[in-house]
Amino acid sequence: MTVSELPRTWRERAEQVRRFAVDDRAAQLWEAAAKELERALQEAANEVLNLEQAAAESGYTADYLGRLVREGKIPNAGRPYAPKIRRADLPRKAARKRGRTLEVVADGGIGSSSFDRIVSEAILSKTRNRR
């Protein structure tokens, strides 16, 4: 399950709780949580990134992303000579899957390549510390 699927799942849980529970407050809490998560995901998707930040998240180089903006393939959320890209408009480079990955994002969040990098660094630091 991806993060973007959680609001729908939580709304379904709210309906289940509403059907089987006497008190409606638990269902209201599930619905409130779904609404908060949707709002947070939307804010993350609308966040404007400079080319270096965009490169770190997308897996493409800042130069390549700048070229895509100049060519009009990605909308420029910045100024003509200081381009920026909305997170939701980022192209996503296909990540090589190694082991367990965290699938999150077309709408903003952690990509599997970021998760892989974090896991790899954690494993390497553990083995380095044992020596």
> Which tokens sit at 17?
């709780």
Main-chain dihedrals φ then ψ at residue 67, nearest 5 degrees: -65, -40
Residue that the structure tokens 């700048």 belong to? 66
> Strand, coil or helix: what is 82?
strand
The residue among 18, 40, 38, 19 whose CA lies nearest residue 29 is: 18
> Which tokens sit at 38?
């949707």
What is the reported pLDDT for 98? 55
Q: What is the tens place of the pLDDT at every residue in 26-45? A: 999 999 999 999 999 999 99
Boundaries of every domain in the chain: 3-46, 47-92, 94-131
DSSP E strands in 19-129: the ranges are: 48-50, 84-86
- In the chain, count of helices (H) and strands (E)? 5, 2
pTM beyond cutoff 0.85: no
Identify the bridge partners of residue 82 per DSSP, sorted by sequence position.
Answer: 79
Confidence of residue 106 (pLDDT cuts 50, 70, 90): very low
| CA gap 103, 95 in Å, rounded | 11
Please state, rounded to an integer, the average pLDDT across all residues of the chain.
82
Kindly give the interhelix angle for 25-46 and 6-20, rounded to the nearest 10 degrees. 170
> Which tokens sit at 122?
């954690």
